[in-house]
């Protein structure tokens, strides 16, 4: 995004603002007011959500030039006292960027997990945008903002973001298109190094960032008869939760692509274990059937 476009986005956000509005944007985790919406108010929740989407995109693109720009869980808040509803957000006078605005914003969640989730989600948003899926990108953000208003623990928002992203992609894109988006998202992760064994490297990444408590993998199994290869990955203490009868595996797939996996699995099988999940990636000659953004849980 060019500087002119960044200025256009800033002007768009400012145009949405209303001096007498009762809604504003904050980071749910830290309480910071996110640039470029700092100090702005909005007339309705819907307008504030539109501003939040634009703010998220602005910061996503700005991060390309400033690696130290903080990752924010942007949510819509309503000024206390203007509604009978019980709000988690309260307005404070004389606030600064370091003063807490959201009750309980601090937590012990591993910052590495937060950053990993946001890097993966941001890369997927960028891939959706560059591939022309603007409506789907907006749908994902809308789901996230709805969750942000109901999830009691702000630290869970980054996980909800990945879960809702995986769900939307699985519902609205074919497996082949999902593969293209996730591969493109992986190309946005410039911090990733290609590995000789991509799945093994991705497993190590998942444990390091805290997405899993422990992870193990089987040797590759090759079937000459079926012309397939498969590998089983056991995820213990997986941080993402099932949605319906499907398990989000989006970050696993993106990380595998980022580590040098040159093709998507044609099938992904998920079975529950005592402390997590057994995920089987099958690579065959047929087309991709299912299981990229999320995979069906076997009975």
Could you give the CA distance from residue 55 to residue 228 in angstroms, rounded to a whole number?
45
Rounded to whole angstroms, the Cα distance separating 165 from 140 reads 6
What pLDDT is stored for residue 57 in this prediction? 82
Give the closest residue to 42 by CA, choosing from 31, 58, 53, 32.
53
Distance CA 256, CA 41 (A): 41
Tokens, residue 110: 């591993």
Q: Tell me the pLDDT band of 5, cut-offs 50, 70 and 90.
A: low
62: nearest Cα among 40, 86, 37: 37
Strand ranges (E), the chain: 23-27, 74-78, 214-217, 221-223, 228-236, 246-248, 267-272, 276-283, 294-296
pLDDT of residue 192: 65
Give the percent of the chain with pLDDT over 70. Answer: 83
Predicted local distance difference test score (pLDDT) of residue 101: 33
**Per-residue model confidence (pLDDT) at position 183:** 95
Residues 14-28, mean pLDDT to the nearest whole number:
91
Closest CA to 194 of 263, 245, 257: 257
CA distance 128 to 57: 12
Pick 2 or 276 by higher pLDDT. 276
Residue 191 has pLDDT above 80, yes or no: no
How do residues 22-32 score in pLDDT, each as one tens digit?
Answer: 999 998 877 88
Mean pLDDT of 250-257: 96
Residue 56 has pLDDT above 70, yes or no: yes
Position with higher pLDDT, 254 vs 161: 254
Lowest-confidence region among 18-32, 45-59, 90-104, 233-247: 90-104
pLDDT in tens, 265-297: 999 999 999 999 999 999 998 889 888 999 999
User: What pLDDT, on a 0 to 100 scale, did the predictor assign at position 287?
Assistant: 86
Q: How far is CA 283 from CA 37, 226, 227, 287, in A?
A: 46, 10, 9, 10
Amino acid 68: pLDDT: 65
Kindly state the tokens that stand for 36.
């470029």
- pLDDT tens digits for 86-134? 344 533 333 322 223 333 343 444 678 877 887 888 889 888 888 989 8
> Can you give the pLDDT at residue 94?
30
For the stretch 151-182, pLDDT in tens is 766 567 788 889 999 999 999 999 999 999 99
The CA distance from 48 to 24, in Å, is 7
The mean per-residue pLDDT over the stretch 133-141 comes to: 84
Lowest pLDDT segment from 21-25, 46-50, 60-64, 101-105 = 101-105
Q: What is the pLDDT of residue 46?
A: 85
Query: What are the beta bridge partners of residue 221?
Result: 230
Quick one: which of 237, 239, 227, 220 has its CA closest to 274?
Answer: 237
Q: How far is CA 115 from CA 44, 195, 228, 247, in A?
A: 30, 21, 35, 21
Whether residue 246 is predicted with pLDDT greater than 90 in this model: the reply is: yes
């Amino acid at each position: 995004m060019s500087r002119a476009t960044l200025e256009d986005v800033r002007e768009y956000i400012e145009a949405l603002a209303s001096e007498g509005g009762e809604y504003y944007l904050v980071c749910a985790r830290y309480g910071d007011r996110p640039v470029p919406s700092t100090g702005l108010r909005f007339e309705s929740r819907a307008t504030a959500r539109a501003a939040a989407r634009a703010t998220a995109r602005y910061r996503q693109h700005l991060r390309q030039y400033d690696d130290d720009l903080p990752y924010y869980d942007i949510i819509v808040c309503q000024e206390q006292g203007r509604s009978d509803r019980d709000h988690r957000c309260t307005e404070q006078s004389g606030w600064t960027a370091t003063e807490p605005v959201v009750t309980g914003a601090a937590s012990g969640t591993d910052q590495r997990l937060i950053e990993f989730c946001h890097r993966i989600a941001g890369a997927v948003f960028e891939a959706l945008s560059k591939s022309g899926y603007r409506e789907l990108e907006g749908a994902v953000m809308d789901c996230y903002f709805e969750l942000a208003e109901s999830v009691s623990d702000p630290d869970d928002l980054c996980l909800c973001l990945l879960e809702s992203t995986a769900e939307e992609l699985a519902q609205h894109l074919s497996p082949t298109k999902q593969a293209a988006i996730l591969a493109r998202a992986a190309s946005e992760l410039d911090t990733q190094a290609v590995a000789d064994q991509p799945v093994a490297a991705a497993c190590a990444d998942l444990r390091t960032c805290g997405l899993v408590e422990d992870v193990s993998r089987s040797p590759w199994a090759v079937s000459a008869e079926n012309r397939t290869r498969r590998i089983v990955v056991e995820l213990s203490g997986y941080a993402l939760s099932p949605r319906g009868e499907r398990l989000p595996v989006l970050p696993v797939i993106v990380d595998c692509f980022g580590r040098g996996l040159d093709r998507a699995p044609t099938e992904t099988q998920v079975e529950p274990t005592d402390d997590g999940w057994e995920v089987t990636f099958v690579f065959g000659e047929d087309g991709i059937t299912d299981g990229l953004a999320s995979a069906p849980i076997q009975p």
